Chains A and B, each alone.
Chain A
Amino acid sequence: MAETTTHVAEPTRRDFLYIATGAAAAIGGATLVWPFVQSLAPDAATVAAGAPVEVDLAPIAEGQIVKVFWRGSLIFIRHRTADEIKAAEDVNVASLRDPQADTARVKEGKPQWLVVYGNCTHLGCVPLGQQGEYKGWFCPCHGSVFDTSGRVRGGPAPTNLPIPPYAFTSDTKVIIGQEATA
């Protein structure tokens, strides 16, 4: 019987069984990795904790930056002064590393309110407000500079401070974590 495998060049039924068994084991093993990898993802409680948060803007004075948390992430709410708005708007957008007009970073008719994530897009430190060359933010960790629109203007950060989803529910209230539904 043993000789049949040496003399016959064609695959035998036993070869088929070997390959089928090996393939089943490989696919099964690979499939079993999936739940373990998925278990590392943000869990249901963490996702649920990402419910939108409402922030009252009335107490935020002009020129002030307030820190709030949404989904565990730091958010800056900046009540910009007229000078800061003008500085953010009077920029040649094409010259920016991550070109974006200031008007695209605020809600229409509310240029005084800038809402951005509060972690540097380089390695996640919290930049210091009203500091740096453009008086926007300056990151003390690795020297990234942001302007009064939260756009990167220097240092190693690759992109602007991102804008979280948010919407105004009234003139003095903003809800972070959800876009306007209209």
Chain B
Amino acid sequence: MSQHPTTYVPKSALGRWFESRLPIAGLVHSSFVAFPVPRNLTYFWTFGAILSFMLVAQIVTGVFLAMYYTPNANLAFQSVEHIMRDVNYGWLIRYLHANGASMFFIAVYLHIFRNFYYGSYKAPREVLYILGVIIFILMMATAFMGYVLPWGQMSFWGATVITNLFSAIPLVGETIVHYLWGGYSVGNPTLNRFFSLHYLLPFMIAGVVALHVWALHVPGQNNPTGIPIKSGKDAVPFTPYATIKDIFAVVVFLIFFAYWVFYMPNYLGHADNYIPANPAVTPAHIVPEWYFLPFYAILRAIPDKLGGVLAMGAAIVIWVFMPWLDTSKVRSTAYRPLYKQFFWVFVGVCLVLGWLGSRPAEGWYVIASQICTVYYFAHFLIVLPVLGFVERPLPLPNSILESVMGVQKGGAGMPAGANAEPQSKG
């Protein structure tokens, strides 16, 4: 926004009158119409739009659910069943909201791993990236509290296990947990405050998303080559190119979303959550929602309460330091033959951790979790810093245009090398 002053000229007299008082049309025009986007973006760059859509969808469905939901320990379970059976289309709105959370996380994980693959977190996009990590943490908190609200068995025991993580803090842990609960166990005060926060946090996410988009519009988008836009020929205007592509991607994503909602709406949940909360009995096999499983596996891999909690927290917080842990000057993994292999191993380790998180904590599952946890941290603390020094990257194209159209004789706007970044080690 600040980098590309608007050239927007309102056509009508009313438009000019309004624009001189609140230049919002010009802001939208420069940010989402005239804004230059790299011409080589793939569909991996549509997840920002998909995620924005999902945030709005979750807020809209959530607002309607809140009209019928009752945040009281004695009434919550019944009120959810009331929504499912009595409220017109209540089943649809609830399934959209519940599965919407999973879709939100599918999209955010693809968005995050796209960022990891193409080095989008590197300078000058560190702040943009860290805002993204903050959004992810807020999403996790929101999803967790939302899962507690139906007050089924998984809700209750999920809330118990997660809030008990704080009891690992030395000295004050117990007091903190009592303050989180508003009592001496998870109970009605806990449900009340979780509902309050579950309604609040999405709007905080929306606020950080606004900062995230703002920070994106300063350097502009990264792209599959990782090299910046150097001339007008490298870019196309946001509208219609990115707009239409984003809308198409959202539609395809909605088909995927609808499949879950209409054909297997409970597949991603747990049957135990259709049993009302019972503080005297823990379900035999307690697991969090799928999107928390890799972190849950890390928690259980450490045979020490405080250590497990710290490792789980560190598994996310370590992302913040990625721009500085990765010493390679080359952004895109497409030009990093060695890192490409490590990247896919890392993806595999995260998936295996997710699977291990869904298994009981016994036998070789624990050992496998421990090996994967060590590798997870080694990826950030050893692979990323060391590879930047030992890896010899492939030659980068001179421009985005060249990467798309091939080298054109005399066609390039600038002499080769004049615009080279210091990313080449050769």
Residues of A near any B CB (own CB < 8 A) = 37, 40-43, 46, 50, 67, 69, 71-74, 118-119, 122-126, 140-143, 155-158
Contact = CB atoms under 8 A, between A and B. Distances in A.
A158 B170 CA distance: 12
B329 interface: no
19 contacts: A37-B179, A41-B182, A42-B182, A42-B183, A46-B182, A72-B184, A74-B279, A119-B160, A124-B163, A126-B281, A126-B282, A140-B284, A141-B157, A141-B286, A142-B361, A143-B360, A156-B302, A156-B305, A158-B306
B178 A41 contact: yes
B184 A156 contact: no
A33 to B, nearest CB: 13
Nearest to B159: A124
B285 to A, nearest CB: 7
A179 B232 CA distance: 81
Nearest to B302: A156
Interface in B133-163: 157, 160-161, 163
A124 B308 contact: no
B314 to A, nearest CB: 17
A37 to B, nearest CB: 7
Nearest to B157: A125
B185 A67 contact: no
Given A41-B178, A123-B164, A156-B304, A140 B285 contact: yes
B280 A126 contact: yes
A124 B179 CA distance: 16
Interface string B357-374: 000111000000000000
Which of A50, A125, A157 counts the most chain B CB atoms within 10 A? Answer: A125
B300 to A, nearest CB: 6
B187 interface: yes
A67 B280 contact: yes
A4 B286 CA distance: 71
B182 A69 contact: no
Interface of B: 157, 160-161, 163-165, 167, 178-185, 187, 189, 193, 279-286, 300, 302-306, 308, 360-362
A128 to B, nearest CB: 8
A140 B282 CA distance: 8
A143 B361 contact: yes
Given A74-B280, A126-B280, A141 B184 contact: no
* Residue with the greatest number of chain B CB neighbours at <10 A, chosen from A40, A41, A142: A142
Contacts of B283: 140
Contacts of A141: 157, 161, 282, 286, 361
Contact of A123 (B161, B182, B185): B161
Contacts of B281: 126
Contacts, number: 87
A126 B286 CA distance: 11
Query: Which 8 A/B pairs are nearest by Cβ-Cβ distance?
Result: A72-B185, A124-B164, A123-B164, A125-B282, A123-B161, A126-B282, A124-B160, A71-B184
B58 to A, nearest CB: 26
B182 A40 contact: yes
B159 to A, nearest CB: 9
A21 B266 CA distance: 58
Contacts of A155: 303
A122 B184 contact: no
Contacts of B182: 40-43, 46
Given A43-B182, A43-B189, A72 B279 contact: yes
A42 B280 CA distance: 21
A141 B157 CA distance: 10
Contact of A125 (B160, B181, B187, B308): B160
A46 B181 CA distance: 11
Contacts of B189: 42-43, 46
A123 B189 CA distance: 19
A37 B161 CA distance: 22
A157 B167 CA distance: 12
Given A46-B184, A46-B189, A156-B305, A69 B300 contact: no
A124 B166 CA distance: 11
Contact of A157 (B180, B279, B305): B305
Contacts of B286: 125, 140-141
Contacts of B163: 124
A85 B280 CA distance: 25
Contacts of B187: 46, 72
Which of A71, A73, A156 has its CB near the most chain B CB atoms (within 10 A)?
A156
Nearest to A40: B179
A40 B163 CA distance: 14
Contacts of B161: 123-125, 141
